[in-house]
Amino acid sequence: MAPPALRYSLVGLLLLTACARRARVRTKPPNPAEITLPYLLERLRWQSPSAVLKLSYRAVYKNGREQHFFLRLLVQGDSLLWASASVFGFEGLRLLWRRDSVFLLNRLEQAAYIGPVDSLRHFLPALGVQDLVALLFAKLPPRLETAEWRWNAARQALWGRLAAYRAEGEVLWPQATAFRRWTLNLPNQPPLNLLYDWDGGRPNLPALRFEFADESALILYPQALELNPSNPAMPFQIPEGYTVRSLAQFRL
């Protein structure tokens, strides 16, 4: 089994991609008591970029002690994702996510995991790539747009429910174009808390802290973002001697 830093890096791999478009700025901040729910949801809606994106992150996993690693990502729309997690210059995980299939290399195990996207539902049930991208950039996941939302002006918070999903998001104010915090209750999963640091990130790309049920935390600091890189290829090849397994067998 991979060490904690690499195990939790998979969450980072699945949750990291793309960049948000800058929303139009109002000359006068909206009043929480007067804002309408449709207007707020429109400002928080995620818009998938068309550019190929290359991102680099510094990550810290805390669970009694700190473990540091790096994430590199290449994103193309909502159908293709390459990602790599490295510790001390050694790549531990490499991920390729297509629209309907996922390929994962675990170099510590010398194993390759291959299978349909549905094989990952025990980690992130019913969430797609763009839903995870939206969470990274503090936006409303497309899958949750049709949820039954309620707006609490006093707390500047949204509450929503969609089937077995429940979510609460504290809106960044006075911009009202992103979130300061997300709490997600997913089916058969412990609650997941996401805290955004807009001072510690880059424009439209905040630093992000994931707080897990076991009181551990994964903190992601954006280091670089490049649009349409000149050399976007991140080769995905299964090395000779690796054991090929079903993706459904992979566990954190």
* 147-173 mean pLDDT: 89
The answer, yes or no, to whether residue 24 has pLDDT greater than 50, is no
Q: 67: pLDDT confidence band, cut at 50, 70 and 90?
A: confident
Highest mean pLDDT among 99-108, 112-121, 123-132, 224-233: 99-108
What is residue 249's predicted lDDT score, i.e. its pLDDT? 87
Tell me whether residue 94 is exposed, middle or buried, using C-beta atoms within 10 angstroms of its C-beta: 0 to 12, 13 to 18, 19 or more: buried
Per-residue model confidence as pLDDT tens digits over 185-202: 876 777 889 999 988 666
What is residue 25's predicted lDDT score, i.e. its pLDDT? 43
The answer, yes or no, to whether residue 16 has pLDDT greater than 60, is no
* 76-89 mean pLDDT: 78
What is residue 53's predicted lDDT score, i.e. its pLDDT? 79
Q: 29: pLDDT confidence band, cut at 50, 70 and 90?
A: low
Q: 17: pLDDT confidence band, cut at 50, 70 and 90?
A: very low
How do beta strands 148-152 and 111-116 pair? Answer: unpaired
Give me the residue spans of the domains in the chain.
4-249
Cα–Cα dist 215/64, whole Å: 9
What is residue 5's predicted lDDT score, i.e. its pLDDT? 54
Nearest Cα to Cα of residue 56 among 19, 23, 26: 19
Residue with tokens 């080769």: 235
Cα–Cα dist 148/52, whole Å: 33
Q: 87: pLDDT confidence band, cut at 50, 70 and 90?
A: confident
Phi-psi region of 43 (alpha: psi -120 to 50; beta: other; left: phi over 0): alpha
Cα–Cα dist 198/195, whole Å: 10
Tell me whether residue 63 is exposed, middle or buried, using C-beta atoms within 10 angstroms of its C-beta: 0 to 12, 13 to 18, 19 or more: middle
How do beta strands 80-87 and 66-76 pair? Answer: antiparallel
Cα–Cα dist 165/143, whole Å: 10
Q: Is 119 helix (H, G, I), strand (E, B) or coil?
A: helix
At the second CATH level, the architecture of 4-249 is Clam (2.50)
What is residue 3's predicted lDDT score, i.e. its pLDDT? 55
Q: 21: pLDDT confidence band, cut at 50, 70 and 90?
A: very low
Highest mean pLDDT among 36-45, 79-88, 164-173, 183-192: 36-45
For residues 33 and 204, the model is more confident at 33
Q: 40: pLDDT confidence band, cut at 50, 70 and 90?
A: very high
Cα–Cα dist 69/77, whole Å: 26
CB 46 within 8 A of CB 141: yes
Phi-psi region of 81 (alpha: psi -120 to 50; beta: other; left: phi over 0): beta
Cα–Cα dist 159/30, whole Å: 19
What is residue 20's predicted lDDT score, i.e. its pLDDT? 35
pTM: 0.75
* 178-183 mean pLDDT: 92
